[in-house]
Structure 1
Amino acid sequence: MKTIREIYQISESKSQSNYALDIWYNDVLNKSVSELGIVDLCRMIKQNVFIELAISKALELLKLNPLEGDVYDGQLLELLFKVDKDKIRGYEESLKEILMNAKENVDIDNFMCKEEYDEFKDLVEKFLTKVNSY
């Protein structure tokens, strides 16, 4: 299975940086797509690196669990909502399926409090509006 370094044809470099972001980036380069975890995907989207790959993989996870997130429930969906609409163009049908699933199947019992539930439901509605506007 190809690594991200091979997929994007990134040459090997010897980074001597001890910054957490640089360490993570170099680690991700040596992973295959199947090895990417939720932490990687959230960070890839936040940092806008390998974004197409991150979106595609994120949609796979969200189909299984629309509440997927690194730090809190629904974080991955929220990060996708913030992605420039030109980058998520072409994924409208998958997004609609995920959002409708979330709207119909996620209930208040999945959250610690009503406010978190309301915020998630609001996000789903806003995201549906955004996707339907394409």
Structure 2
Amino acid sequence: MSKTLREIYEYDLIEDDGIDYTVDEWFNTIMEKTKDQLNVSDVSRMLRQKICSRIAIKRAIEMLSDDPFVGEMFEGQLMFNLYAGKEKYLRLFYTQMEPVLEKAGIMAKAHHWASEDEKKEYIDIVAKFAQKIREETENEAC
């Protein structure tokens, strides 16, 4: 049986102090989930909030492998959120990201986008992500 995020990270839940904090409620909710129970919305928010980054990045890669255009509010949002993730953890997953980015770049050209601007932005972020990985890989080789 998979462990919950709370068990993995040994976090305490945020106690209810009577004030309505949506972020606290969300945090407590995801802490009770296993990695596989995290949905696109959870992972996107985890990446934006920089919470449990390793698990969020790993889950995002799994989701993007299945659908490179997955997003909570717009197509490709998860890719944008992942690109902006915590760099020290992103580096750990660069080799796993390379085939995802390659597939995303190829599929993006034929994908039906709502606008040319969305298509361009998505292709640009995929290219920037791939370039960042190439540069990091080259620096490690030196």
TM-score (norm 2): 0.87
Distance in 1 (CA, whole Å) between partners of 2:90 and 2:112 is 27
- For residues 52-131 of structure 1, the aligned pairs below 5 Å read 52-131=54-133
The answer for the alignment partner of 1:6 in structure 2 is 7
**Does the Cα contact within 8 Å between 2:108 and 2:122 map onto a contact in 1?**
no
Match of 2:77, as an amino acid? Answer: Q
Shift, 1:66, TM fit: 0.8
**Does the Cα contact within 8 Å between 2:64 and 2:100 map onto a contact in 1?**
yes
RMSD of aligned residue pairs (Cα, Å): 1.4
Cα 1:7–1:127 change in 2 (3 A) is: same
The answer for the alignment partner of 2:34 in structure 1 is 32
Shift, 1:85, TM fit: 2.6
Q: Indicate the percent of aligned positions where both proteins have the same amino acid.
A: 28
Stretches of 4+ aligned residues off by more than 6 angstroms = none
The answer for the alignment partner of 1:22 in structure 2 is 24
Q: Secondary structure at the match of 1:77?
A: helix
TM-score (norm 1): 0.92
Structure 1: runs of 5+ lacking an equivalent: none
Distance in 1 (CA, whole Å) between partners of 2:55 and 2:131 is 24
Match of 2:70, as an amino acid? Answer: E
Match of 2:96, as an amino acid? Answer: S
Q: Which digits, 9 at most, give the CA deviation of each residue in 1:50-104, with x for residues without a partner?
A: 0111001100001111111111111111111112432211211211111110111
**Does the Cα contact within 8 Å between 2:105 and 2:126 map onto a contact in 1?**
yes
